[in-house]
Amino acid sequence: MIPDEERDRLVTVCRKMHEEGTDTEEILRFLRESKCSKGASLGVMHRALGLRPNEAKRLVHLSRTWADRRESDEKVENLFFDLLDEIADKIVIVKRDLPDEER
């Protein structure tokens, strides 16, 4: 997490870079070299380029700049969704076990 002031500064710099025609990969490289995390880079790109959050996530996640993190991040994301599926399955089971008047 970066402080709001630093995030705002990076948004301004990245917006200017984008308006000047700088390639998005170069902007992402600048952010990473500026010690901006992958998650913070996603937020900066969302604000600086006016992207929807899912577009910013895709741009950052599939970039060459963050390619070294892609596999491990996908594993974590898959574990998260597997856990959600397990929780959802338990909720359905509990609901099925309730008497009709409590469903």
For 23, list phi and psi in degrees, rounded to 5: -60, 140
Report the alpha-carbon angle 64-68-72, nearest 5: 130
pLDDT tens-place string over residues 41-51: 999 999 999 99
Domain carrying residue 91: 69-103
Instruction: Give me the DSSP letters along 10-40.
Output: HHHHHHHHHHTT--HHHHHHHHHHTT--HHH
Tell me: do 21 and 53 sit in the same domain.
yes
pLDDT tens-place string over residues 49-93: 999 999 999 999 999 999 999 998 889 888 988 898 888 777 765
Tell me: do 43 and 89 sit in the same domain.
no
pLDDT (0 to 100) of residue 77: 85
Tell me: do 51 and 86 sit in the same domain.
no
Q: Domain tally for the chain?
A: 2
Tell me: do 43 and 5 sit in the same domain.
yes
Enter the pTM of the model: 0.76
Contact 14/49 with Cβ under 8 angstroms?
A: yes
pLDDT tens-place string over residues 2-12: 899 999 999 99
Tell me: do 74 and 54 sit in the same domain.
no
